[in-house]
Amino acid sequence: MPQCGMALLLTPLFAPVETWRQLFQREMPDLEIRIWPDAGNRDDIEIAAIGRLPENVLRSFPNLKMIVSLFAGQDLLMADTTLPAGVPIVRASPHTGDPMMDEAALTHVLRHHRNLPDYLLAQRRAEWVSLPRIRAQDRKVGVLGLGIIGLNTAKCLAAHGFQVAGWVKHPRKAEEGIEIFAGKDQLGAFLARSEIIVNLLPATAETDNILNRETLALLPKGASIVNLGRGQQIVDADLIAALDSGHLSGATLDVFRQEPLPKEDPLWRHPRVTVLPHASRVPDARAMVPLICAQIARLRRGETLIDVVDPAIGY
């Protein structure tokens, strides 16, 4: 039995169970790991490191002191209306963002920047075409959402020479190489200057349907969209209409309102839409376990936890 008498309940996502056990053993050998649904004596569970559990399950652990969210987005966890009151929820995401998300965003931005969707359409028609070749320094990219992942993605795009701007809910200090737009009053100006949009917004009531007929019309003609955030943030019918009218030139979508995307959905067959099966990233247990253990150490010492989720805003 662990010396501290503390047990952690784990939903072993993204890696095999034994990998998680080995990582925790290396970082905190006195911590007992229990794998859902084999919780054992529920009185022992003081930490839950989870994606999401069925409703009312977390309430059944009377000594629960901390919930660690294993997902970057908190919408699935926060959708549980039975979360125990007063138990803090903390993130397990590195402050350096996620290199896989940086890679995904850069890949898709470069693809639109270098007109690859248009060249593919031309190839299917057996047409030899010459399209404008624009230097990265002359291309304006906009990132919606500058959280931990979004900010580091924006920095990655800026490091590759793009003119990068970010849009956030509240004003914040400037970031080197990134122009900052904030609040609803500046959303229009942000969209109007962005030729390629990367959406990395958190899922909240305020961000639902944020890319709709009115806001899509504010983008410059020929703009492209890369959605790596959440599917409910784009109104699909409005996106298709903007593509069909020629106002937008293309869209790369990795997230959808319903996943898997139903086979009958028109997005599958639209010539200017690239459909990806929520494939941009997979969280790295090797990066997460040290962060989880550091939070547990703070909890043991009675110190203030960091990276705490605010239930009032959903992230």
User: What string of H, E and C letters represents the secondary structure of 233-302?
Assistant: HECHHHHHHHHHCCCEEEEEECCCCCCCCCCCCHHHHCCCEEECCCCCCCCCHHHHHHHHHHHHHHHHHC
- Kindly state the percentage of the chain with pLDDT values over 70: 98
Q: In the numeric block, which tokens belong to residue 179?
A: 């122009």
Instruction: For 88-147, write each residue's pLDDT tens digit.
Output: 999 998 888 899 999 999 999 999 999 999 999 999 999 999 999 999 999 999 999 999
Q: Would you please indicate which residues are annotated as catalytic (active-site) residues?
A: 230, 278
Q: Phi and psi (nearest 5°) for 239?
A: -65, -45
Contacts of 265 (CB under 8 A, 6+ apart): 236, 256, 258
Domain boundary assignment for the chain:
7-93+283-301, 99-275
C-alpha distances (whole Å) from 31 to each of 8, 23, 177, 234, 301 are 7, 11, 43, 43, 15
Q: Could you report how far apart the first and last alpha carbons of the chain are, in Å?
A: 35
Residue numbers of the chain with a pLDDT score lower than 70 = 1-5
pLDDT in the model for residue 2: 39
Q: Give the other-Cβ count within 10 Å of 100's Cβ.
A: 15
Reply yes or no on domain 7-93+283-301 having CATH 3.30.1490.20.
no
pLDDT in the model for residue 17: 96
pLDDT in the model for residue 315: 86
Q: In the numeric block, which tokens belong to residue 293?
A: 């253990």
Comparing 7-93+283-301 with 99-275, is the CATH topology the same? yes
pLDDT in the model for residue 312: 82
Angle at which helix 17-27 crosses helix 285-301, to 10 degrees, equals: 40
Instruction: For 201-231, write each residue's pLDDT tens digit.
Output: 999 999 999 999 999 999 999 999 999 999 9
Reply yes or no on domain 99-275 having CATH 1.10.260.40.
no
pLDDT in the model for residue 174: 87
Distance CA 255, CA 208 (A): 13
